[in-house]
Structure 1
Amino acid sequence: MVSTAPSDTREADTREAALAALRELVGRPDADFHDGQYEAIEALVAGRRRALVVQRTGWGKSAVYFVATLLLRRQGAGPTVLVSPLLALMRDQISAAERAGVRAVAINSTNAHEWSDVLARLDRDEVDVLLVSPERLNNPSFREEQLPALVRRIGMLVVDEAHCISDWGHDFRPDYRRLRDLIAQMPADVPVLATTATANSRVVADVAEQLGSLQSTGEAGAVDVLTIRGPLARTSLRLGVLRLRDSASRLAWLLSHLGDLPGSGIIYTLTVAAAVDTARLLREHGHDVRAYTGQTDTDERAESEGMLKRNEVKALVATSALGMGFDKPDLGFVLHLGAPSSPVAYYQQVGRAGRASESADVLLLPGVEDRDIWHYFATASMPDRDRAERVISALGDTSVSTPALEAMVDIRRTPLELLLKVLDVDGAVRRVQGGWVATGEPWVYDAERYERIAAERVAEQQHMLDYEQTEGCRMEFLQRSLDDDTAAPCGRCDNCAGGWFPREIGAAATTQASESLDRVGVPIEPRRAWPTGADRLEVPVRGRIAPDEQAGEGRALARLTDLGWGGVLRDIFAAGAPDAPVPPQLLAACVRVLAGWTWDQRPVAVVAMPSRSHPQLVDSLARGLAEVGRLPYLGALAPIGGGPSGQPGGNSVFRLAGLWDRLSAEHLEVPAGPVLLIDDLVDSRWTMTIAARTLRRAGASEVLPFTLALRG
């Protein structure tokens, strides 16, 4: 008689329990583990190890941590803390957990009204998985009141989309870098799991090193990290690249062939304006689509996700805001209008398709403007040494709120918040109740690190261009970009099997796309209130702007990011572009904006802004519009004391201070009626606000701002 060793029996019991949990999770009695799934679960549950799982999208990484959580909880372990980056991902993860009988709850920015109930359930040990965003880990009350207790009783820590810990994703979520410190505090016998589908060898080594750090016992050290890495080939995906000459051709192709694409899917764009404009064009011509961006209302985003999952829309036209973790197993296609900046990002986005189907179509329509957009986003996310030092100098040991700090340093709110996060992670500042304080710790700008990141991004951008132009297998190219040594030709992409997508474009679609791109006129919402903290810079205003000093709603020809006229305007405002009179076709487009502008009373005169960068452009535009409209051109407002100071892009308080009492209309005979105010570019809207106030105090009953371009 052969006896069974106790360890073998325990292993068999663990596998049987894990398999039962898996089948409950996926709802199939015949389900079995994919290669590597049980190995990861066993390492976490039986070995209490730290593990990094790098597997393709759809492989089942969430099954690993949900099944492991169930088994650990049965052994008496505390709740799993799952750090998850996106709200859409959290919603899907909670739904998946419920199917397996896992009690999962989230603490995030959208459910503050539920936090007290969640914390009470944690105290009663009625939560199996707590989902938190990386930012929540640095919320002062959570960090100081809830996190220490959680760390003491945590059963497992899971870091989803763990590539963000590495430099590769630092600008996506700076708070992910803070996870290194949390991981280092975890006791050695508490399992830690990191998962990702997008990591090359450099990122894998970086994340594994951070997972292995250990200082919970007061003794610095490291623990062994198990890395389970599988092949990244997606056999269901049929990849292709279609290069067309311009934006109009790409939109026309989409109008012609969207209905031919299988099922429902995602159309990715690089900018918010492109997503909104593309969705509008498609809807106007009978396609059931919705726009989905970071500026879309939270409830509307959740509604759109549900509609796509239920196949109630043909597509969501989305920015990268719809990305990691969105789970629709039968997503039929992913199409890109413009290329992401790296094969890694591209692989991650196309991985949304074909997760539980035999075939899905993936098509890239790159644009000539892609490189400019990549450069803009790459430089916008990098911390600036001078700005960082200004912020640290402005803070002390007394809490300063972000709005108050904004009034002390010339940095806009969004980049200021990003910079504060970076400095917080670096240990130079600290978020506390009511705002921010300086830690007093020495801080040195890590120029070498940021130069290295910038160089890596340039290399990744070139790699994306190489993907577009390769004559080899496209799936193999993506796999090799992620250092997958199992890469081999897929036999399905356009280079392996020939072009599978149509190339012809209907004449009607070409006309419709061209008309859409030729659309002109973007509203400019007027400022209604003065910025908080203006009095700190000796600007004697606060609260609401007096109604008789406000600007009216204005118009811009287009946004700089628009697909149509935005391209023309980007050339005009490009660094180093010469100042010149307004081109005739641009003037004609501006006249069309005015013709479609429904105002209560027609303007009675035209006034220009004094311009240091484009005086010929602004003056010729104002004179041209006045001549076409048969209106008197009064001239330009006069600069006082050298005119407005400061540069575009500063925050509201500093922009206002640089404009206050710097414009005069005393030399103009301002009539008692509406005045059309002409400028070249609107950024913060404070220049228009002060100019309108000046003209209204000089007698204008209304001021209607008009500019060529609206930034953003």
Structure 2
Amino acid sequence: MTESTSNAATIDADEFAIQAQRILTELTANPDAQFRDGQLESIRDLVVGKKRVLVVQRTGWGKSAVYFVATRMLRATGTGPSLIISPLLALMRDQIAAAERAGVRAASLNSSNVTEWDTVLDDLRAGNLDVLLVSPERLNNPQFRDEVLPRLLAFLGLIVVDEAHCISDWGHDFRPDYRRIGHILAELPGNTPVLATTATANSRVVTDVAEQLGQHTTVVRGELARDSLRLGVLPGLDASARIAWLSSHLGDFTGSGIIYTLTVSAAEDITRILRDQGHEVRSYTGRTDAEERAELEQQLKDNRIKALVATSALGMGFDKPDLGFVIHIGAPASAVAYYQQVGRAGRATDSADVLLLPGAEDQEIWNYFATASMPSQTDANAVLQALAEADGPLSVARLETLVGTKRTRLQLLLKTLEVEDAVTKIKGGYISTGRGWTYDQERYEKVAAVRAAEAQAMLDYESTRECRMEFLIRQLDDPDPKPCGRCDNCAGAWWSAEISDENRQATAGTLHRIGLPIDPRSTWPSGMANIGVPLKGRIPAEELAAEGRAIARLSDLGQGQTLRSFLAPDAPDAEVPAQIGKWCLEVLGQWDWEIRPEVVVSVPSARRPATVRSLAANLASAGRLIDGGQLLQVHDHGTPDVNSAFRVKDLYDAFVVPPEVEEAVAGKAVLLVDDEVVSRWTMAIGARLLRQAGATAVLPFALALRA
């Protein structure tokens, strides 16, 4: 990059402001753009003072402008690139787009672009990048930690810690991986500028984060009230009534928005019901792959859908300035977390609506997640003993079988043990450091007490008769809280609480209806050419699967319990029992397909061949369809426990369509069946092969969705 100045430290205040203003204009593409209070001062502290700065400002204030302008000015002095530690892929995508607008060359290393890492690292070494974005989890990737990070730290110009409240135990969204950042900062030269940013930190969190950043950290803190938001709470509805209300009134909300839920299954169920009732919505959860997330985010930004029904996976960093509304079906466990999520709305509009529909089950869900996130001495001892007795590193999957701890809890425990130096991650898995680990009862009791107080504050928010915005920003220790004059408590309810009988009946019917949709894959993972697979972009319409069906999720109550028992890893391979067969026919009978299938083809199964073949044969017989046989597997295709790019690589040439199957499917619609659907890539590849063989449509069908 080229700039007119050679050393920012020698520029007087006026010239510095002029150069910073020019870069801001390029960043925003707005010739009238002006710095907000605190922005230019923060940039000066970083570029000239080489300080450590913690910025606590409301969403939309422009924290990214600070680090991109600072990066441009630092790079002009000959410093190395900036390292931005950023928690979410959505945030990285938006930051890279913003960097390009500011003339900053940026790239990321994340789980969605594994195939591009070598190219990114080559560009970094060659000096072709101004900014590298990584997740906090990437800091402990063995290759990055051991090979890349030491060299990078030696010539960094700036470190940025985005969503810095995640560093603190007391923050509402503490993440163990963030605790590694403190070790990194301690190793930096004293004159390396550091910027930490957050919109959601109370005084306790601010103090904790500032201490971890180091002595003499400058804190820039502004008012947190959001004048554009109109807050409200609609209590007292059960689960079915909340969804019925949403279906009745979603169209009343201006523009497009986000509907937040507490669980993945709730997001998927609500999406299904709303779509059945004619609403253009999609689900967005931790199960949504990176490629789909990017596509869904863009659809929302372009107002091509009314809403994303999302878990907290859609949160920090998602940037749609004109987002019109945020609705919560179930309350987050913290008023601070709630403030952060509703802050997605109304950044660049005069008005945006925010409504909470709390549920009786909320506290039970909060307790579950709070318990799951806390480490256990018993679990830690079991992990450390298993590692000590092993001949080499153990993967998470292997540890799961040895210690009897569920995958999510085990992964959180391993992160805690890593940052506290009891285990380390190397290629192939985890090994013990031999240092042991002791449960810090006093610290975790204090954290639990803070969590309980946060949960009570959320309940108090639901029932308060005071201004809701004032209540929220008091939770964040805003220095000057005032009534907003807009919320339901200040100005009266601004929504209708009525629910039509039609919506009540339709919602109840859908909730109790058997069968779940299997959304087809629509886009190939990025970077496939880098690993030898010639697939890219959108899947062509002539190779695309149609929407499919499954009986239930394995995690569901009711049918899910029966399916989970039948399909358990240690259960025998057996023909589909009568009760499950009956459910299959119910699902097929209710399926509103555009094209009725004429042929049944099965996916070959190494684990449960009798189950899958009996399913295909029985469906063909009961539905008077042609049993077209099964695809031919020509080599092993691994497991679904890898990212999408490598899953597609494993599946790409694993199957072929035998001549007899090709003859059966030519010119016909096909029902493609399997026992379980996990990643949906097997169905995508199978559909592609069958469509290429002449099938007019391919409709996936499975007993269960693994969840």
TM-score (norm 1): 0.72
Q: Cα 1:86–1:561, aligned 2, differ >3 Å: closer, same or farther?
A: farther
Deviation at 1:597, TM superposition (A): 5.6
For the 8 Å contact 1:22–1:31, the answer to whether it is kept is yes
Would you say the 8 A contact 1:523–1:556 is kept in 2? Answer: no
Q: Does 1:400 align with 2:431?
A: no
Matching residue of 1:59: 61
Give the aligned partner of residue 361 of structure 1. Answer: 353
Shift of 1:302: 1.0
Alignment partner, residue 307 of structure 1: 299
Q: Structure 1's 376 and 477: CA in aligned 2 closer, same or farther, altered over 3 A?
A: same
Q: Which of residues 512, 516, 520 in structure 1 aligns to 2:510?
A: 516
User: Which of structures 1 and 2 has the bigger CA Rg?
Assistant: 1
1:332 and 2:324 matched: yes
Aligned length: 543
Task: Give 1:390 shift.
Answer: 1.1
Deviation at 1:416, TM superposition (A): 2.1
Q: 2:410 aligns to what SS in structure 1?
A: helix
Query: Which residue does 1:282 correspond to in 2?
Result: 274
1:250 aligns with 2:242: yes
The Cα offsets for residues 360-382 of structure 1, whole Å up to 9 and x where unpaired, read as 11011111111111111111111
Distance 2:426 2:582 in 1: 52
- The whole-number CA distance in structure 2 between the counterparts of 1:230 and 1:342 is 21
Q: Is the 8 A contact 1:560 1:711 kept in 2?
A: no
Change (3 A) 1:330 1:425: same
Quote the residue 2:336 is aligned against: 344
Equivalences for residues 672-711 of structure 1 within 5 A:
none
In structure 1, stretches of 5+ residues that fail to align are: 1-5, 213-222, 525-552, 570-588, 601-681, 685-704
Question: Could you tell which deviates more after superposition, 117-126 or 85-94?
Answer: 117-126
The superposition leaves residues 598-641 of structure 1 with CA deviations (integer Å, 9 ceiling, x where unpaired) of: 699xxxxxxxxxxxxxxxxxxxxxxxxxxxxxxxxxxxxxxxxx
Q: Could you list the per-position Cα deviations for residues 491-519 of structure 1 after superposition, in whole angstroms to 9, with x for gaps in the alignment?
A: 11111111111122222111112212222
CA shift, 1:408, in A, is 2.9
Q: Is the 8 A contact 2:106 2:133 kept in 1?
A: yes
- Equivalent residue in structure 2 for 1:503, among 497, 508, 530: 497
Q: CA deviation at 1:171?
A: 6.6
Q: 1:170, CA displacement in angstroms?
A: 8.3
Partner-residue secondary structure (3-state), 1:267: strand
Please give the alpha-carbon distance, in whole angstroms, between the structure 2 residues aligned to 1:443 and 1:334.
42
Cα 1:706/1:326, change in 2 over 3 Å: closer
SS at match of 2:107: strand
For each residue in 1:684-704, what CA deviation from the matched residue of structure 2 results, as whole angstroms up to 9, or x when unmatched? 9xxxxxxxxxxxxxxxxxxxx
CA contact (8 A) 2:172 2:336 kept: no
- Distance of aligned partners of 1:554 and 1:43 in 2 relative to their CA distance in 1, 3 Å threshold: closer
Residue of structure 2 in register with 1:231 after alignment: 223
Query: Kindly tell me: are residues 593 and 99 of structure 1, through their superposed partners in 2, closer, same or farther at Cα, counting changes over 3 Å?
Result: same
Q: Distance in 2 between matches of 1:500 and 1:406?
A: 50
Q: Which residue of structure 1 aligns with residue 87 of structure 2?
A: 85
Aligned to 2:159: 157
Q: Which consecutive segments of 4 or more residues in structure 1 shift more than 4 A?
A: 6-9, 169-172, 521-524, 553-562, 589-595, 597-600
In the alignment, residue 476 of structure 1 is paired with which amino acid? E
The answer on whether the counterparts of 1:557 and 1:593 sit within 8 Å (CA) in structure 2 is no
- Cα distance between partner residues in 1 of 2:218 and 2:370: 33
1:170–1:177 CA contact under 8 A, matched in 2: no
TM-score, normalising length from structure 2?
0.73
Output the CA distance in 2 between the equivalents of 1:353 and 1:84.
Answer: 21
Report % sequence identity: 59
2: distance between equivalents of 1:417 and 1:85? 17
State how far apart, in whole Å, the 2-side matches of 1:439 and 1:297 are. 34
Give distance in 1, aligned partners of 2:155 and 2:517: 54
Once the two structures are superposed, what CA deviation does each residue of 1:220-262 show, in whole Å capped at 9, x if it has no partner?
xxx3000000000000101011113211221111111111101
Aligned pairs for 1:131-146 within 5 A: 131-146=133-148
In the aligned structure 1, how far is the partner of 2:230 from the partner of 2:268? Answer: 27
Structure 1 range deviating more: 122-131 or 509-518: 509-518
For structure 2, the 5+ residue unaligned runs are 1-7, 519-548, 562-578, 590-598, 600-675, 679-701
Paired letter, 2:90: A
* C-alpha distance in structure 1 between counterparts of 2:274 and 2:264, whole Å: 16
- The Cα of 1:442 is off from its aligned counterpart by 3.8
Alpha-carbon distance between aligned partners in 2 of 1:556 and 1:138, rounded to the nearest angstrom: 37
Q: Distance in 2 between the 1:449 and 1:243 partners?
A: 35
Alpha-carbon distance in structure 1 between the residues aligned to 2:555 and 2:142: 38
Contact map agreement 1:520 1:558 (CA 8 A) in 2:
no
Shift in alpha-carbon separation, 1:407–1:337, aligned structure 2, 3 A: closer
Match of 1:596 in 2: 586
Alpha-carbon offset, residue 8 of structure 1: 9.8
Is the 1:170–1:176 Cα contact (8 Å) retained in structure 2?
Answer: no
Q: 1:269–1:275: 8 Å Cα contact kept in structure 2?
A: yes
Local SS of the residue matching 2:12 = helix
- How big is each residue's C-alpha offset from its partner over 1:63-113, in whole Å with a ceiling of 9 and x where there is no partner? 000000000000111000000000011000000000010001001111111
Counterpart of 1:546 in structure 2 is none
Distance 1:711 1:456, change over 3 A: farther
SS of 1:238's partner is strand
1:428-486 Cα offsets, whole Å, 9 max, x none, are 00111222111122421111122111111111111001000000000000000111121
- What SS is found at the alignment partner of 2:424? strand
CA contact (8 A) 1:271 1:319 kept: yes
Amino acid in the other structure paired with 2:416: V
C-alpha change, 1:171 and 1:440, in structure 2 (3 Å) is farther
Q: How does 1:135-284 map to 2 (within 5 A)?
A: 135-169=137-171, 173-212=175-214, 223-284=215-276
In 1, Cα distance between equivalents of 2:375 and 2:410: 10
Q: Distance in 1 between matches of 2:461 and 2:554?
A: 32
Output the CA distance in 2 between the equivalents of 1:146 and 1:24: 31
Q: In structure 1, what residue type is equivalent to 2:14?
A: A
Partner of 1:36: 38
Contact 1:274 1:561 in 2 (8 A): no
Residues 99 and 171 (structure 1), Cα distance of their counterparts in 2 relative to 1, 3 Å cut: closer
Q: Distance in 2 between matches of 1:594 and 1:186?
A: 61
Distance in structure 2 (CA, Å) of the matches to 1:522 and 1:450: 40
Structure 1 counterpart SS, 2:197? strand
